[in-house]
Chain A
Amino acid sequence: MQKTREQFYLHRIRAFKDERAFARLYEMHAKSVYRILCVRLPTPQDAEDVLSITFVRLWDYLCRASSVNHLPALVNTIARAAVADFYRQAGRKTVNATDQSGEQLPLLSDSGREAKQTEAKIDLAIVKQFLNTLPDEMRTALILRYFEGKSVAQVANVLEKSESTTRVLLHRAIKRLRLQLAKKE
């Protein structure tokens, strides 16, 4: 149903340059894109700027494109290109854990209560750093699944993969993240 709605909006944009339809598409996809951008960019303000750029480019593309089969993949591709442009223009390097805190962060412990307390205190910058070491697909899958709280089926739909493949992808992403944390220790 969502796909049909999406195709209707795309038709309106293509045929009539209908901003109302584009507004609906923005409502449907902006938050997920913003989440991904927050992980990829140093500050929420940067994410907000790049989000605007992403949707302006999307509008330009949709007005010219003859057909778009899978919009989420298209939006993610445009967002990735916008992030690359952001770093290229500013001559900046990708974000890492020490960029924001400037100091080494505490490590996770395996003792039950202590571990929970540590989890609460863990620096978000480390999570961001580790997420950024993952391949695009894994990172997007984790963001959609755990940040956005989407089901595996919804994540699979965005990534254009089967549910089983997506499940395996998520499992490997978690495993890799865990190994990163272990190395940090």
Chain B
Amino acid sequence: MRKKNKNIFVTDRELQNLLTQAGNTPEFGSDFSGIEERAWTNVLQSIGKSDIEAQPFGVREYMGYIFSESSQLVLRPLMVSVFALSLMFGGWIASVNASIDSLPGDVLYSVKLATEKMQIQFASSQQRAKLHTEFATRRLQEVTDLSVSDRPDKEEQVTATVQKFQEELQQARTELATARQDKSTDVVAIASAIDIKNDQLKSLLDQTSEISSVTNKEDVERAKTEVRESEAQVLDTLVENHETTPEPRNTENLQLKFQTMYRDLVKRSALNRGRLEVITTKITEASKILGIEEKELEATLQDLRTRNSSYDKDLADAQNLLAAGGFRTSFEKLQSIDNDLRQIEEALADIEISLTSPVLLPKDYEPPGGGESTEVEEKESDIKQVSVF
């Protein structure tokens, strides 16, 4: 290793020795004993300490260190895992929350449906029935929202969503039928849950009916029929349950339900009476003005009036039957009245629509007595349009 170069006057070894010797001189810090202590005193003063104990570290201190290190080893990966999981679930929850208000056709709508399917998968029979009715309510709310939106494809979307609504309600009914067949103890709870939702669905359908387009009227009517069938099934289940196991609570529930239905029918009958009176008055006025006798219409109105009045007695009968304990018969009577009243309501609605539509008359038509028409509009064509209302 002894290298010699004529241009360089020292070998590697000599240089190494030179450095070692230099290291042994105080200029290069060989004498550190006094300096060490002085520098340390300065350090202590600077950090605000005067003196420290020279006591060695005990087992407790070492154990504390081992515990701290091992907990770090476990805690750190644990914290990372928790953080990663919270990010995953947080992201999922955020997406689900964001999808709650989505409508058919939206990007997040599939997330909403997937979440609902997942909820159904993990639910019990009773919860499933509740969830299906809850999701049916959501579908109906979507129908309402779609109806007032300005989407170009809203009519198709409404039809598809009503279809989904029907499916949800049918699944709820299937759950109820299964529970009934299995004679499950949850049958009353399931029926009650669906019953509560049915009321909500009916009021939502009334709203939707008002705002839906002509094209979607049929869809809404289908939905109404579905709800009525659901109501009938629930009622039948509750009555049957009462017949097999007559418990005071069930009796009370049925009585309450009867009263609600009864009041609704009385109210509807009274409303029909009022509508009939208005129509009759208007027709009489129009006959005087136009000189047209609407005998056929008057006969129809008379028939409707008679039918509408006949329910007073039927309603009283139903009440008496209930008092005697005949739940099934009394409810059947109410349902029959409900169907009849619906027919009357539909007939009245048709008459009202026909009366509010313009009547086409020849241009040369002159009303008797100088012609005091309620609303007569001159058109460019050779006919006059007249409206009774």
Query: What is the 8 Å Cβ interface bit string for chain A, positions 119-155, against chain B (1 contact, 0 not)?
Result: 1101010011000000000000011001111000000
Q: Does B150 touch A at the CB level, under 8 Å?
A: no
Measured between beta carbons, the chain B residues less than 8 angstroms from A84 are: none
Are B35 and A48 in contact (CB-based, < 8 A)? yes
Query: What is the 8 Å Cβ interface bit string for chain B, positions 4-47, against chain A (1 contact, 0 not)?
Result: 10111110101111111111011111101001101110111011
User: Which among A34, A56, A148, A175 is the interface contact of B46 at CB below 8 angstroms?
Assistant: A56
Given the interface contacts A8-B62, A119-B14, A147-B19, does A56 sit within 8 Å of B29 by beta carbon?
Answer: no
Q: Which of A158-185 contact B (CB under 8 A)?
A: 174-175, 177-179, 181-182, 185
Are A174 and B12 in contact (CB-based, < 8 A)? yes
Given the interface contacts A8-B62, A20-B55, A44-B27, does A185 sit within 8 Å of B68 by beta carbon?
Answer: no
Number of interface residues of A (CB under 8 A): 52
B35 to chain A, nearest CB (A): 5
Are B43 and A52 in contact (CB-based, < 8 A)? yes
Number of interface residues of B (CB under 8 A): 46
Q: A118 vs B44: C-alpha distance in the bound complex, in angstroms?
A: 44
Are B29 and A147 in contact (CB-based, < 8 A)? yes
If over half of B's interface residues share one DSSP class (helix, strand or loop), that class is named, otherwise mixed; here it is helix
User: Which among B6, B9, B19, B29 is the interface contact of A31 at CB below 8 angstroms?
Assistant: B29
A109 to chain B, nearest CB (A): 6
Q: Does B57 touch A at the CB level, under 8 Å?
A: yes
User: Which among B39, B54, B69 is the interface contact of A52 at CB below 8 angstroms?
Assistant: B39
Measured between beta carbons, the chain A residues less than 8 angstroms from B68 are: 11, 15
Measured between beta carbons, the chain B residues less than 8 angstroms from A51 are: 35, 39
B94 to chain A, nearest CB (A): 31
Are B36 and A30 in contact (CB-based, < 8 A)? yes
Q: Which of A10-24 contact B (CB under 8 A)?
A: 11-12, 15, 19-21, 23
Are A127 and B55 in contact (CB-based, < 8 A)? no
Q: Does B360 touch A at the CB level, under 8 Å?
A: no
Q: Does A103 touch B at the CB level, under 8 Å?
A: no
Are A127 and B18 in contact (CB-based, < 8 A)? yes
B241 to chain A, nearest CB (A): 67
Given the interface contacts A107-B9, A182-B7, does A23 sit within 8 Å of B46 by beta carbon?
Answer: no
B156 to chain A, nearest CB (A): 60
Q: A55 vs B47: C-alpha distance in the bound complex, in angstroms?
A: 10
User: Which among A115, A146, A182 is the interface contact of B20 at CB below 8 angstroms?
Assistant: A146
Query: What is the 8 Å Cβ interface bit string for chain A, positions 22-65, against chain B (1 contact, 0 not)?
Result: 01001000110011011100001001110110011001100000
- 12 A–B contacts from the bound complex (CB under 8 Å): A12-B61, A15-B64, A20-B57, A30-B36, A30-B39, A47-B29, A49-B42, A56-B43, A108-B14, A110-B4, A119-B17, A179-B8
Q: Which of B's residues lie within 8 Å of A, judged by CB?
A: 4, 6-10, 12, 14-23, 25-30, 32, 35-36, 38-40, 42-44, 46-47, 49, 52-55, 57, 61-62, 64-65, 68-69
